[in-house]
Amino acid sequence: MPNQRLLLWAGLALVLWLNYQAWQNDYATPPAAQAPAAAPSTAAAPPPQTLDQSVPGLPAPTSEAAAPAVTETPVVPAVTPAVASDIRVVTDVLDLRIGTQGGELKRADLLAYPKDKRHPEVVVRLFNDDPAHPFLFQSGLTSGTPGAQPDHLATFTAARTDFRLADGADELKVPVTWTDGQGITVTKTYTFTRGRYAVRIDYEIENKSPRDWQAASYLQFLRQQPHVERSMFDVESYAFMGPAIYDGTSYRKLDIEDEEDRVFAGSIKDGWFAAMQHHFVAATVPAAQQTYQYRLRVDHGQYLLGAVGPSQVVPAGARRTLTETVFVGPKLQAQLETTGPRLELVADYGKLTIISKPLFLVLKWVHGLVGNWGWAIVLVTALIKLIFYPLSEASGRSMAKMRALAPRIKNIQERYKDDREQLGRAMMELYKREKINPLAGCLPIVIQIPFFLAFYWVLLESVEMRQAPFLLWINDLSTRDPFFILPLLMGAAMFGQYKLNPAPPDPVQAKVFMFMPIIMTAMFAWFPSGLVLYWLTNTVLSIAQQWRINKVVEQQAKKAAT
């Protein structure tokens, strides 16, 4: 039907428009923000980076409404102690390096996630101390006395330089210690749990000095943000990379290339902040029920996103313990939900979360039954088809009747080919007499569009789908079919569906829609193979459903004729 096909064109245009808008919003750089062309000077290197020397000052003991969010106390690089040997920590899921300078997490390898399935020995690395592309988690206590506080520039000591989670053990503690030599001792303990990517950080403060000691804890990510060029040949390039925050009520991504997002500061209670990338995330969850001062700084493509907590006073002769959490690993939603409030939002499904989230949960449940994400997609597609069967059946019956009336429609078109007004009236009279609604086939297509986009974001953002095999040559449902076989099968199925449905009355329109399977095949060739599998399954089920409805309508017509 013309109306149905017009709506299908509109749906395809919507998909292309949304992708274009996402590209414009995320990666198109306005002319004013573009870097000037490089001059032929001898200064090849950018200005020295100073964000790594930034230690938050001690917050003033005032109300949340007063005072700036964070004050910075620069530390002169010359007083930075020499870096001692790193501490290696190995659990069942993580291989990390903790620097004795500051006790910072400077390297984190995810043992269960190879970068490429063909080379399982090369795993994904999040935290990285490469000077050219640093990604560090810095934390500590600030007392307002630069050079004499347990911040990320101070020297810590440890009992040994190698810690490993023992067989059968569920927990591994890694303590590092700092002292000022005047009675203040701080033991910073990382606690790792078997199978989990959330790490608890405890500061045990012991004050043996004759006077009270005041300090505040802070956490921050320092990262050199790599620039990502979007490409239709690489679906991963459409995933957001950069800092994000949750302020206790809403989730917000911060684009460091956007002037508005480059400046951020605020007081947040029961929130968190994260450094995001495709499928993986590093996030910190400050202590609950306490207000932290958040701040983002950007310099030469490098950002420093951090939070400093309220001042804590440790009386002379007393002890106090502070606790915070850092998550470093894949966006496993079950673990994220138990780590911080709404932390699962970093698995970013965008505006279609209301559909994508339940869809993912159903997929996960079916996967638990069949053990294969590809078959889970097939079965969930069939389930969706079953749920909307009554609606699809009404549409199918209308199309079957249209097919049966094709010869009569053709006669009317030939009779009134020079009078379009009379042609329209004759067609409407025929529809009314035969009780056919020409718009009945539109609604199922409208419903499919949001489910199609929701499936797209589930497959793109859910790390559970990453490198998930299906059958034979399909060894990663989150990337394109390496041999383009699924898109070709999908195109063939769409051509079969086209032949099964009534042909458009307009010859030009008929030729255009005859090429639709080719257009869709070329477009879907670069989509995740899991998404192509969904559309192929949906098309095959639609063909089977329409074929059956056509047979039923034909039998009913024969009975009515006799």
| pLDDT on residue 84 | 53
> What is the C-alpha separation between 538 and 382, in angstroms, rounded?
7
| pLDDT on residue 457 | 85
The reply to whether CATH 3.90.25.10 applies to domain 91-348 is no
Burial of 247 (C-beta count, 10 Å sphere; 0-12/13-18/19+):
middle
List all residues 6 or more positions away from 461 whose beta carbon is below 8 Å from its beta carbon: 239, 279, 331, 347, 348, 349, 356
- Per the rule left: phi > 0, alpha: psi between -120 and 50, beta: everything else, 377 is alpha
| CB of 169 closer than 8 Å to CB of 91 | no
| pLDDT on residue 32 | 35
> What is the C-alpha separation between 217 and 223, in angstroms, rounded?
20
Length of the chain: 562
* Largest Cα–Cα separation, the chain: 108
Query: Measuring CA to CA, which residue among 246, 312, 320, 332 is closest to residue 284?
Result: 246
Q: If you search the block for the tokens 């001792």, which residue do you land on?
A: 185
| CB of 340 closer than 8 Å to CB of 327 | yes
| pLDDT on residue 110 | 97
| pLDDT on residue 99 | 93
Residue type, 386: L
Distances (CA, A) of 39 to 43, 300, 521: 9, 17, 46
At CA 556, angle to CA 550 and CA 562, rounded to 5?
Answer: 135
List all residues 6 or more positions away from 309 whose beta carbon is below 8 Å from its beta carbon: 59, 216, 217, 218, 286, 287, 290, 292, 322
> What is the C-alpha separation between 4 and 13, in angstroms, rounded?
14
Query: Measuring CA to CA, which residue among 13, 228, 230, 190 is closest to residue 96?
Result: 190
| CB of 557 closer than 8 Å to CB of 404 | yes
In tens digits, the chain (562 residues) has pLDDT values of 443 444 444 445 544 544 444 444 444 443 333 333 333 333 333 334 457 667 877 776 544 433 333 334 333 333 344 445 799 999 999 999 999 998 999 999 999 999 988 888 999 999 999 888 899 999 999 988 777 899 999 999 999 999 999 999 999 999 999 999 889 999 999 999 999 999 999 999 999 999 999 999 999 999 998 776 665 555 566 678 899 999 999 999 998 888 888 888 999 999 999 999 989 999 999 999 999 999 999 988 899 999 999 999 999 999 999 999 999 999 999 999 999 999 999 998 888 888 999 999 999 999 999 999 999 999 998 988 888 777 666 666 666 666 666 677 777 777 777 777 777 777 777 777 766 666 555 666 677 778 878 888 888 888 988 888 998 899 888 888 889 999 999 999 988 887 776 665 556 666 776 778 888 888 888 888 888 998 899 889 888 887 877 777 667 666 666 6
Q: If you search the block for the tokens 């870096």, which residue do you land on?
A: 83
| CB of 273 closer than 8 Å to CB of 284 | yes
| pLDDT on residue 342 | 94
Domain with CATH 2.70.98.90 in the chain: 91-348
| pLDDT on residue 451 | 80
